[in-house]
Structure 1
Amino acid sequence: MRLRFFLASFIIIVFVYLSSLTLQSHSCAHRQEAAGFCHQETEREHRLNRMASSTLGGVQDSGSAANSVEIESLGRFAVEEHNKKENAMIEFVRVVKAKKQVVSGELHHLTLEVIDSGKKELYEANVWLKQWMNFKELQAFDHVKEIPIFTASDLGAKREGPGTGLKSIPEDDPFVLEAAEHAVKTIQQKSNTLDTYELQEIVLPKAEVMDDASAKVQMLIKTKRGSKEEQFDVEVHKKNDGKLSLTSHKRLED
């Protein structure tokens, strides 16, 4: 009888001891799993914070997107909104330069070429865009400068006077910028690559007014296609009707 009692007691003690070990093992595993999860969440938060600090509020070039339909529509929107607010009659021509800033949506910094009272002008506009809310607002629309008309006297290219031929002009001249963008666009259309050419730099532009009052510009343009940089010697003609034509281009070997 005593033997049965001791045997039953021994079995109960062993069962209780093993159960306590199992509970401790599960508890430890849960603690380790929770600690691992917390560590993963902490790392995730750190990554998100680093990404936010590197992009939020930073102004970046729009790159090839500067010539996109979306950017052009934002430029037209800016002009239309300005006309409504100021009861003006400014006419949109094109987006000269585009940058964007990530801040509760996107703040687009646009340099616009417009026609105001028959004169070409440059304006800087800020458009705040929140696509998920279908929200768009003009934040600023400021005059920069008047674009001078491109004439033979400006270039010193009158046939009867000194200085005939090509004359150096600034890289940021609107005519030069327009011609460079046209050259890049035409080179892109003639290429067989899917990568987009991006204009990086304009070097030593020279322009001349021809006998028929049309103009031409020669320059070196530096472009980037994917990770590859390419340079071209180009010549662009602007006809009397304002149309541009890339008459020659030659890729320079590295």
Structure 2
Amino acid sequence: LYLPKVGWYNAVLQPSFHLQYSEDTLAFVVLSTPSMFDKAFKPFVNKQLLKKMNDPVDQCVSYHLSLVKENLSDQRMDVIYDYEILPNRKPKFLAQTAAHVAGAAYYYQRKDVKCDPWGEKKIYGVCIHPQYGGWFAIRGLLIFPDVQVPFLEQVAPVDCVASEEKRIELLEKFNFHWRDWSYRDIIEVKERYSEEQRAYFGAPPAERFKLLELQGVVQKSAFY
């Protein structure tokens, strides 16, 4: 969990992306690290009935955040998941921007490269964590509408890909070679996804339920 407040997020975005809360509202960005797969995901799918129409990881995250909500029942808490979209097809929140303003991970974008080599090509940005590199995911945003933190001081994310050369390499790998996972190792990391985890996330979403069966993580009876 990383701590921002809504005003920091809204300040860097166009009004159409603003979260409709007061600027001092407390929020938390939720990340998952490589150990989540063994510590949370596999135990979850072993014990729960999974809905085949929903992504298993999304179901796992939803389950654990529902437990957080139960344990904080005395506080009003709104949850926005990374995969949720508005009727106009825009995401409900921009996950990488939220992670950056919360100080969780640095969001490297085209504007962070001084000598742009890409011309008319569309170049997408990517967050890099100072400990996990690209081996992590942003899962959601927890917002506490009744908690105001006007004196909270913003902490900048760690600029762990500081050189121009490395930033170009990162954006090249992420945009044009993302399937080989190499952008995730743009810096030295403390932990990576396991081979089992790579196989799971590397599979097309429609095949992931079958992969869980083949890996022996769940039985067919676990789905409905």
TM over 0.5: no
Q: Normalising by the residue count of structure 2, what TM-score does the alignment of the two structures yield?
A: 0.26
**RCO (CA 8 Å, sep 6+): is it higher in 1 or 2?**
2
Q: Normalising by the residue count of structure 1, what TM-score does the alignment of the two structures yield?
A: 0.23
Structure number with greater Rg is 1
